[in-house]
Amino acid sequence: MKQALALVEVRVLDHLIVGSKEIVSLAERVWL
């Protein structure tokens, strides 16, 4: 996703996923 958005000059700093018991940061998990 980060590479695709870079083609149109959009920077992604983080993406948060909110679940019923936790919040997951893709940047912290190095998935972004």
Domain count, the chain: 1
Question: pTM for the complete prediction?
Answer: 0.31
List residues bridging with 17 in a β-sheet. 24
The predicted pLDDT at position 3 comes to 75
Evaluate whether 16 touches 23 at the Cβ level (below 8 Å). Answer: yes
What residues contact residue 16 under an 8 Å CB cut-off, 6+ apart? 23, 24, 25, 26
The predicted pLDDT at position 28 comes to 75
The predicted pLDDT at position 12 comes to 62
The predicted pLDDT at position 5 comes to 63
Strands, E, within the chain: which ranges?
16-18, 23-25
pLDDT tens, position by position, 1-32? 667 766 776 666 576 667 777 778 777 766 54
For residue 30, give Cα distances in angstroms to 13, 14. 11, 10
Q: Range of 9's domain?
A: 1-32
